[in-house]
Amino acid sequence: MTDLNIVALVSIGAHPASGRARRAEQDARAVELGLRLAGKRLRVLHAGNPREEALRSYLGMGLDELAVLEQPAGADALPALADYLADAGAQLVLTGSQAETGEGSGMLPFLLAERLGWPLVVGLAEVEKVEDGSAQVLQALPRGQRRRLRVRLPFVASVDSAAPGARQSAFGPARRGRIEAHEVAVVEDQLLAASTLQPARPRPKRLKVIKAKTGAERMKAATAKAAGGTGQVLKDVSPQAGAEAIFKLLLDEGVLR
Amino acid sequence: MLNTILPILLFAALALAVLGALRRFRMWRRGRPAQVDWLGGLLKMPRRYLVDLHHVVERDKYMSRTHVATAGGFVLAALLAILVHGFGLRSQLLGYALLAATALMLTGAIFVLKRRLNPPSRLSKGPWMRLPKSLLMFSGSFFVATLPVAGILPEGFGGWLLAVLLAVGVAWGVSELFFGMTWGGPMKHAFAGALHLAWHRRPERFGGGRSTGLKALDLSDPSAPLGVEKPSDFTWNQLLGFDACVQCGKCEAMCPAFAAGQPLNPKKLIQDMVIGLAGGNDAKFAGSPYPGKPLGEHSGGPHLPIVSLDGKALVDAETLWSCTTCRACVEECPMMIEHVDAIVDMRRHLTLEKGATPNKGAEVLENLIATDNPGGFAPGGRLNWAADLNLPLMSEKKQADVLFWVGDGAFDMRNQRTLRAFVKILRAARVDFAVLGLEERDSGDVARRLGDEATFQSLARRNIATLSRYRFKRIVSCDPHSFHVLKNEYGALGGHYEVLHHTTFIDELVRQGALRLGRSKADSVTYHDPCYLGRYNGEYQAPRNVLKALGIEVREMQRSGFRSRCCGGGGGAPITDIPGKQRIPDMRMADIKETGAALVAVGCPQCTAMLEGVVAPRPEIKDIAELVAEVLIEGAEAPASQPAARREAAEVH
């Protein structure tokens, strides 16, 4: 355990089968990681309704209290969170990758890190050690790979399903834990107010045609990357040349017009 | 000389016994308060002892007769010895009476000794091996010492040598039998046992009654402990109950988890609670340890946690999670100790306070909270199994004779066959029934037995609220677990219903002549009694009657009826999945194969799943509803109601 000053950001989740409010899966993993690092000193922060019962299931993981920046639905959580965190002396802010309710854009960690001017590590799997004002962490990459990073404090990190699974939430601590509501200036989310929401459609998956004859080939096919085949690796090029190559690719793919 | 020594010995031992009793009583009272009928309980105690307890002991005729002789002889001998040798009432009549009493006790003691010559492994050794000798000493010494009183031998016979021998014998005897009783010797079972019967936590069990529902936790009081963390969190009469254990090991012999090599032995667990009550470690425990757990490594005290999640305390968590709550131990216990209550009490602490339900436990509880079913299935799919059956819904009918409680088996493809078979039977018998459909939720059985009382109460209260909106005469369920919970555990939360298991209901339909049945083609069939139908609710006969009505002759297993061995599926045991040396369903399948049956009739979705999980070749497994539906003659008018066949009371062993 480190004496790091850690804040985990949590949201209200929704069970995929029933839609019932619950602790969000990834956010609970962020709390789990925080508890493993800081134990009871972990601070947990939510922006929204402090009377939401589902918040108690975070407390049930063994927290004494949970701070809530009180906001009505539809308010922008970002300014409130950023203001709070800037003053809170946090050295590590843990979040999930994407909320299960609301916009669920997955943008919050990025916007937050930008606003705070801190680095962001996505897919944090483990914090190995903290020394001299920087942390050595493992970042999860696809197919079980890990990348070791050294990040200076303070930083924001988002966790996904590569982080350790959340511990059970127990009724006793959930009932005892305190939810402390803080009053904050409510900023309306202009973008959300102006746009209409519609249910997301799952992105179609590229079909993998498996021509394998043997078990070994099938295994290889199952574990291989879905190959695009057109990628290229740019090495030892100037930033200018790199940026131009990326810009050209985006134009070719029709992302930029 | 004896005339001065014996009164001193007797009264000293009695005084010490009284001191010990007070000390022991204070130990029990460290527990939490419990409502007991102090005087009424004491008055009812002799009857409970002589009738209810004797019924249990009587299953083992040898021990029952031995105990009647020994205990009966002892009580008489002790009272008379106090009169004759204590107060010196040396009448010849009393002398003869005392001789008869000690002779009776001596005879009993010889049989106790015989049982101890080559004791079965379930019996505790250690101080218990000393007990028959102490009994012999007590009865023998008083017998000889009384001979002069009766005038058979002259006063002063044998001189000082015999007097010294008798004094030693009496001293040994009264130490064991008088003050050993209250200072923790083997005879403690008589003292604590008698009071345990008087102030039992389930007085409804006496006089032929039944009380098997778990007791509700008061969740409205935030200061009340959530389950049992330390021995002093038990109610005081639970502690008293633990102290009554006679270490006969009948529970151990019946426990499926112990037989499977899982780290549980109900006898040891109760003894560990006694260690917790008095403080100390388990090194001196003289019976079988928990499989795979050596003695001497665990210790505890009244105010120390029973389970330590990161080290060793009194009991390891996996011991508590090995229990299938099959109640075989409680059924066998001649002291009527409530093992399952204690285990669930301790599980409650682990789940509600520590969040430490092992293996899939946390996931199942989370699913129950989020989707009202343990599998985490979308609640909207609860009626998919009956998509083509056009089942009458309570929400449309508002009332029906029978509310068919479907249970979570609705999500299980195997159990859906049973459910569909039962619907076929209901339709053939023209029963006015309806289902709750999507309004039904898990009954809370698994949550409660995994210690999650909060989730149980939440599910139960919502189910009760739903049920209160409709009018029905009875609830019928194909799942003995839902049946038990609805029948026996919803009452404390305000839900009182008449609930039937589907086999009871089918039996009734058959007796009313509402079903036209052919003869089953299954020729060799055995029947597996589900714990929650049999031991929990006493229904052994109806399933057998139904099978008989199908022309099936049941080949009984050696362990059937109240001694039925659990399938391993109760109490959340498949979810917590504590490893052992073998699997409980495999052992049960071995029991089934022993009968030579090609088919085993079952009446429970859990039993079906557990037994079907045994690898082939093995007998086929079919629910009684399926067997009935197979031979149902449909279409024609139901025959005119025949006079109900007399329901025979059959002995089930």
Burial of residue A205 (number of CB atoms within 10 Å: 0-12, 13-18, 19+): exposed
Query: Is the predicted pLDDT of residue A88 greater than 50, yes or no?
Result: yes
H or E segment and range at residue B191: helix B188-198
Mean pLDDT, rounded, for B347-366: 97
Of residues B57, B68, B40, B67, the one with CA closest to residue B198:
B40
> Which single residue is written with the structure tokens 């946390």?
B362
Quote the DSSP letter at residue B175.
Answer: I
Residue A81 to residue A99: CA distance in whole angstroms: 15
Q: In Å, what is the CA distance from B569 to each residue of A91, B227, B532?
A: 49, 23, 11
**Over residues B330-339, mean pLDDT:** 96
Rounded Cα–Cα distance for residues B529 and A57 (Å) = 39
Lowest mean pLDDT among A192-196, A218-222, B67-71: A218-222
Is the confidence at residue B640, as pLDDT, over 50? no
Is residue A82 exposed (0-12), middle (13-18) or buried (19+ Cβ within 10 Å)?
middle
pLDDT at B459 over 90: yes
Pairwise CB contact (< 8 Å): B226 & A168:
no
Residue B290 near residue B268, CB atoms below 8 Å = yes
Nearest CA-CA distance, residue B453 and chain A, Å: 9
Q: Between these two residues, A231 and A135, which has the higher pLDDT value?
A: A135
The better pLDDT of the pair A249, B387 is held by B387
Q: Are B314 and B307 in contact (CB under 8 A)?
A: yes
Run of H or E including B463: helix B453-467
CB count in 10 Å sphere of residue B71? 16
3-state helix, strand, coil in chain B (%, to 5): 55, 5, 40
Q: What's the maximum distance between 2 C-alpha atoms anywhere in chain B?
A: 96
Confidence check: pLDDT of B424 > 90: yes
Interface contact flag, B366 A171, Cβ < 8 Å: no
Nearest-5° Cα angle at B173, B171 to B175: 65
d(CA A117, CA B224): 48
Question: Do residues B213 and B488 make contact, with C-beta atoms less than 8 angstroms apart?
Answer: yes
Q: What is the mean pLDDT of residues B321-346?
A: 97
Residues B135-184 have pLDDT tens digits of: 999 999 999 999 998 889 888 788 889 999 999 999 999 999 998 999 98
For chain A, give every domain's residue range.
6-194
Supply the pLDDT for residue B643.
46
> In this structure, what is the dihedral angle of CA atoms B334, B339, B341, B343, given to the nearest 10 degrees?
180
The tokens describing B87, both together, are: 């107060």
Task: Determine which of A97-111, A193-207, B90-104, B556-570 has the lowest per-residue pLDDT on average.
Answer: A193-207
* Whole-angstrom distance, CA of residue B583 vs CA of residue B572: 15
Q: How confident is the model at residue B339 (pLDDT cuts 50, 70, 90)?
A: very high
**Helix or strand or coil: residue B554?**
strand
Q: Which pLDDT value is given to residue A253?
A: 80
Which is nearest to B548 in space by CA: B587, B520, B568, B516?
Answer: B520
How remote is the C-alpha of A246 from its chain's centroid?
26
Quick one: pLDDT at residue A210? 67
Cis peptide before A154 (omega within 30 of 0): yes
Confidence of residue A103 (pLDDT cuts 50, 70, 90): confident
ipTM for the whole complex: 0.89
* For range B366-393, the mean pLDDT: 96
Distance (Å, whole) CA B248 – CA B337: 12
**If you ran DSSP here, which 8-state letter would residue B403 be given?**
E
Closest CA–CA distance from residue A167 to any residue of chain B (Å): 8
- Give the Å distances, CA to CA, from B144 to B10, B95, B98, B256: 16, 11, 11, 48
Report the pLDDT value the prediction gives residue A81, as an integer from 0 to 100.
96
As a dihedral over the C-alpha atoms of residue A86, residue A91, residue A96, residue A102, rounded to 10 degrees, the angle is -10
CA dihedral B180, B184, B185, B188 (to 10 degrees): 80
Q: How confident is the model at residue B635 (pLDDT cuts 50, 70, 90)?
A: low
What is the average pLDDT score of chain B? 94
pLDDT grade, residue B461 (50/70/90)? very high
Q: Which residues contact B514 (CB under 8 A, 6 or more apart)?
A: B429, B430, B431, B638, B641
Which chain A positions have a beta carbon within 8 Å of B222's beta carbon? Answer: 175-176
Amino acid identity at B396: E
Please, are residues A120 and A110 in contact by the beta-carbon 8 Å criterion? Answer: yes
Smallest Cα–Cα separation from B345: which of B311, B319, B320? Answer: B320
Inter-chain CB proximity B372 and A173 less than 8 Å: no
φ and ψ of A150, to 5 deg: -115, 120
Question: How many CB pairs lie under 8 A apart between chains A and B?
Answer: 55
| A22–B366 CB contact, under 8 Å | yes
Tokens of A180: 């402390």
Confidence of residue A228 (pLDDT cuts 50, 70, 90): low
**Binding-site residues on chain B for chain A (CB distance < 8 A):** 222, 226, 351-357, 361-362, 365-366, 369-372, 376-379, 452-455
- Alpha-carbon span B476 to B507, nearest angstrom: 12
Is the domain spanning A6-194 CATH 3.40.50.620? The answer is yes
Indicate yes or no: CB of A22 within 8 angstroms of CB of B370: yes
Decide: A81 and A112 in contact? Cβ < 8 Å: yes
CA distance A166 to B348: 20
B114, amino acid identity: K
Contact A157, A125 (CB under 8 A): no
More confident residue, B51 or A204: B51
Which tokens sit at B340? 């399952």
Give the distance from CA B451 to its chain's centroid: 18
Output B304-312 pairs: Cβ under 8 A, ≥24 positions apart.
B304/B230, B304/B231, B304/B276, B305/B229, B305/B230, B306/B228, B306/B229, B306/B230, B306/B231, B306/B272, B306/B276, B306/B346, B307/B346, B307/B349, B307/B350, B309/B354, B309/B356
- Do B379 and A18 count as a contact with CB atoms less than 8 A apart? yes
* pLDDT of the residue at A80: 95
pLDDT digits (tens, 9 = 90+) for B212-260: 999 999 999 998 999 999 999 999 999 999 999 999 999 999 999 999 9
The pLDDT score that the predictor gives to residue B218 is 93
pLDDT at A7 over 90: yes
From the list A66, A11, A80, A73, the residue with the least C-alpha distance to A35 is A66
For residue B302, the one-letter residue type is: P
State whether residue B20 is helix, strand or coil: helix
Q: Which of chain B's residues have a Cβ under 8 Å away from the Cβ of A39?
A: none
Test mutation, B219, B221, B223, B353, chain A, max A CBs within 10 A: B353
Predicted confidence at residue A102, as pLDDT, reads: 85
Contact B356 A60 (CB under 8 A): no
A172 in B contact zone (CB under 8 Å)? yes
Contact list, A167 vs chain B (CB under 8 Å) = 355, 362
- CA dist A131 and B606 (Å) reads 54
CB contact under 8 A, B371 and A15: yes
Closest Cβ–Cβ partner in B352, B369, B371 for A170: B352
